[in-house]
Structure 1
């Protein structure tokens, strides 16, 4: 059950169709792609001497080489260790050495920082921009190495927003479950359709190589190696039927450029699959107005990749349903083969409508954390339930409503306050561009509510103004006690706002006496 089996099947079916494009006229057909994967797989096995289960790191921006390295690694029965190209060399070292990586594929953008690092990982490097990489393809083509369903395939290190990243072990079974979930509930892929890779392939973007590869779609990998609105709009105007995965901040950046988002670009857009953070209702309704009903929401995490729930296209366009707007604020319904339950702190299941931790079970759930049995035992129960660390509730129709990360819940005077509820209100204010609500230590209440705000340029905004605005929509105990204004809110490499960093900044401001 090797996930790489989708490649020879697609090569046989779609041979001369384009499998990869650099959006500048260079394409690679399915047949050519299959041959390159087989040769690189042969080099990894014969020239390097790697054995099934050995780990290969990919530390680079999105490149044409990325999918072929991924597939060649699996073809040889090896394990992919994706590493975000924006990480510091120290963070790469933690991942490479912690995972026991044998070989790391890098680019000319990521290699210089590694050369200058004080400490060096024990793995060897192959720079895809050098002749050494092309020489790998002189190896004899290899046959696919079969694997068992629960053999490790993808070792994904969590973003580390709450501490050191942990390696979530995803098997071939997990990846097939993600693939099936995408094709059955997220989007039907037709031959010739494109997937634009603006989101890092080291995260959600990497998973979405698979469904388009399996169904004859073309991977469109932009020259920038990342998300650029002008580049995206040019691609949408040039290619028919393009989809892409995006964090909500990326969708907002697209909507904020009406000068680029013309009718030709909108016509070329097939579907935006969004996730990785909350899409606020106001932004979603604006997207519908500008783009039409071309959005699908997915909810997942590194421990259950992209495959917990889906708010499908039908739910986005079902405007006549009496619960339409309410459902737009949900994360959708569970994928087929996924069980959901809401539990209290002791693990007991709660009734419909009650708020608690979201637990998940199914074929998409990880095997555990790499070399970390303690963290695994805290996250996975013996009967297979994954503690997501997210808080939410289910309605009578099985729609999941995410409230917050359990660690982000603010407990003030013994009462739970969910930051997202406050954030939703503040984002309705025209001067608020971004907001993140956090809890700060308070001697009287335990914690107090602090709103960290980035404002729209040129629009007046003050503490009094926001306080009055919130007071019209929120219970008094939920109102922010403080407002902190920032030019930009800190984000991690995937665009998620870093609440931990905000807590640190607010703490530093208070310690300095600038309150």
Structure 2
């Protein structure tokens, strides 16, 4: 690289760093650090500390077997050296779309080691989400697989290169990687020599990870977290769920490591706590029970729908589940009947974890679940209940849940409009959820102001689905609402104003043609002559929810 290229690259680095904003004041971050809530090291340095102390300790148990801390570090350092050879510098965004396995962990650590920012997002997202995330994050590289259940991930991203001017490399892993045109095989990246790589020690308050959440917006939100917020706030949350040394935690993640919930995997379980990750490439109930018996995890982390599927398996009665301390459930409300049944069949504590990528976390801990989500922990996040004007309400009063604490993210990436609407000037995050603090100081969630459907732990934006359905030539108007479901919690019903005899299959085919991921497809269809309106002239979603709840399954006119 000549001097002119170096100066250009330096200018790019400076512009990259300048776009990251922290909406929590430096004084407040320093106060949390002084209180001992932050480790004061970047994630890779924390991980290296565990490597140096216990290199033979198991880091990951996956479909290939066991990989130790020392072995995982060697893989991460080789990948980091390869990233440097590709021109990745501190502050660059590297997107990662990989299944739950050791490679995903090594890539996370490699990105941290070069001082870059990782943007993980789960496999199965359609073209729309993938391109949106890569474009808005200004990712310079993406690491994905050649094929996911017949879908050519790397090839599809490569075809959208013209819409992604910042993207310089698509790195491809898995079967068929060598045959994917215009992509860099992961083996070439990992061929670099680990011994020659010098890790970068990053500022612990610098950005480390972008969490993706599908809320009420039409595009997925991207939430920027620092090293300290992940290792400190999220680390304290996870450590508080374990009896004994944090290093003895053995966490079986049923959700993707690339999800917001799964971000307590590599950065927290491995880098912060020095524990062990137990991973399966995808969830299935029978396989999960076998994995529990074989690998002896201490914690099971998933969503209530997954728990219900496990409890319905007849072989659960004969499976050795004695290693489990807790089943930690997030992503959707947990009912008491499911919790009691799980406590009986699993023989462990059931923890209801309330939280989001936006910067809030509270859980019921290792006590008997009582329908609340526990007492807020100031080492994780302070929680207040406020009125519509942001004034704190007294105990027992219902209002909006707002949060700020050591786990608070820096900002919504490249989205000043979200920062303006969802963060206040003091760094508190508005959740859109309604709750109250009871006389025992416990948080109870009673509803939500956000218009979002939660299907088995997946947040689905009605606005996103509606924006595509309205382009169907036979649809005059559309509103998507939630209908209750005993397995998934909620499903999406598309309420469509049309004179045509549309079928649910025709509606979902239209969404598929637009590149939307199947998990967001409506599973109910209500055909109407017109959508009902409220007195204010807006679509009456409450009336639609009532109609949808009464229609049963399938399509109804």
TM-score of Structure 1 vs Structure 2, range by shorter chain:
0.7 to 0.9
1:33 equivalent to 2:72? Answer: yes
Q: Are residue 208 (structure 1) and residue 265 (structure 2) matched?
A: yes
The aligned residue for residue 464 of structure 1 is none
Rounded Cα–Cα distance in structure 1 between residues aligned with 2:76 and 2:482 = 50
Q: Distance in 2 between matches of 1:97 and 1:369?
A: 15
Larger mean CA deviation between 4-13 and 183-192 belongs to: 183-192
8 Å contact from structure 1 (residues 158, 166) kept in 2: yes
1:294 touches 1:313 (CA, 8 Å); kept in 2? yes
Match of 1:275 in 2: 330
CA contact (8 A) 2:354 2:361 kept: yes
- 1:335 counterpart residue number: 377
Which of 380, 392, 408 aligns to 2:435? It is 392
Q: Deviations over 1:90-140 (max 9, x none)?
A: 210110111111111111324714524763344221112246312322323
* Cα shift at 1:218: 2.4
> For the Cα contact (< 8 Å) 1:89–1:114, is it kept in 2?
no
* Separation in structure 1 between the aligned mates of residue 156 and residue 482 of structure 2, nearest angstrom: 39
Offset, 1:238? 1.0
**What is the alpha-carbon distance in structure 2 between the residues aligned to residue 134 and residue 497 of structure 1?**
32
CA distance in 2, matches of 1:181, 1:352: 25
- The match for 2:392 among 349, 353, 378 is 349
- 2:51 maps to which of 11, 18, 26: 11
| Structure 1 residues 297 and 208: alpha-carbon distance in aligned structure 2, compared to 1, 3 A threshold | farther
Could you tell me how far 1:232 is from its partner in structure 2? 0.9
Query: How big is the alpha-carbon RMSD for the aligned residues of Structure 1 and Structure 2?
Result: 3.2
Q: Retained in 2: the 8 A contact 1:196–1:243?
A: yes
Is the 1:23–1:220 Cα contact (8 Å) retained in structure 2? no
Partner Cα distance (2:209, 2:321) in 1: 34
Shift of 1:451: 7.9
* CA distance, structure 2, for counterparts of residue 453 and residue 357 of structure 1: 23
Residue range with higher mean Cα deviation, 129-138 or 342-351 = 129-138
Which structure has more relative contact order (CA 8 Å, sep 6+)? It is 2
Q: SS in structure 1 opposite 2:256?
A: coil
Q: Which moved more, 1:110-119 or 1:193-202?
A: 110-119
> Match for residue 310 of structure 2?
254
2:92 counterpart residue number: 54
Residue in structure 2 matching 1:230, options 274, 282, 286: 286
Deviates more, 1:127-136 or 1:148-157: 127-136
Q: Residues 168 and 303 of structure 1 are in contact (CA less than 8 Å); yes or no, is this contact kept in structure 2?
A: yes
The total of aligned residue pairs comes to 425
Aligned mates of 2:119, 2:398 — CA distance in 1: 35
Paired with 1:293 and 1:455, the residues of 2 have a C-alpha distance of: 23
Q: Mean Cα displacement is larger for which, 103-112 or 33-42?
A: 103-112
- Residue 357 of structure 1 contacts residue 388 of structure 1 at CA under 8 Å; is this kept in 2? yes
Q: CA deviation at 1:23?
A: 4.0
Does residue 219 in structure 1 map to residue 269 in structure 2?
Answer: no
1:193-235 deviation digits (Å, cap 9, x = unpaired): 532232111111232333432444322222xx11111111111
Give the match's secondary structure for 2:269.
helix
Residues 1:244 and 2:283 are matched in the alignment: no
Judge which range, 174-183 or 339-348, deviates more: 174-183
TM-fit CA distance, 1:253: 0.8
TM-score (norm 1): 0.75
Secondary structure, in 3 states, of the residue corresponding to 1:374?
helix
Call closer, same or farther: CA 1:389–1:31 in 2, change over 3 Å.
same
Q: Normalization by structure 2: what TM-score?
A: 0.70
| CA displacement 1:418-460 (0-9 Å, x = unmatched) | x99xxxxxxxxxxxxxxx9x9xxxxxxxxxxx9835579xxxx
Distance 2:218 2:266 in 1: 29
Query: Structure 2 CA distance, aligned partners of 1:157 and 1:454?
Result: 25
Q: Distance in 2 between matches of 1:157 and 1:389?
A: 17
Offset of 1:17 from its aligned partner?
2.1
**Match of residue 21 from structure 1:** 61
Q: Is the 8 A contact 2:97 2:145 kept in 1?
A: yes
Q: Does 1:133 align with 2:186?
A: yes
1:380 matched residue in structure 2: 423
Please give the per-residue CA displacement for 1:321-359, whole angstroms capped at 9, x wherever unaligned: xxxxxxx21111112332211111111111111111001
Contact map agreement 1:59 1:104 (CA 8 A) in 2: yes
Task: Give the gaps of 5 or more residues in structure 2.
Answer: 1-40, 179-184, 455-459, 463-480, 488-503, 509-516, 533-554
Mapped contact 2:354–2:363 kept (Cα < 8 A)? yes
Q: 355, 359, 367: which one pairs with 1:314?
A: 367
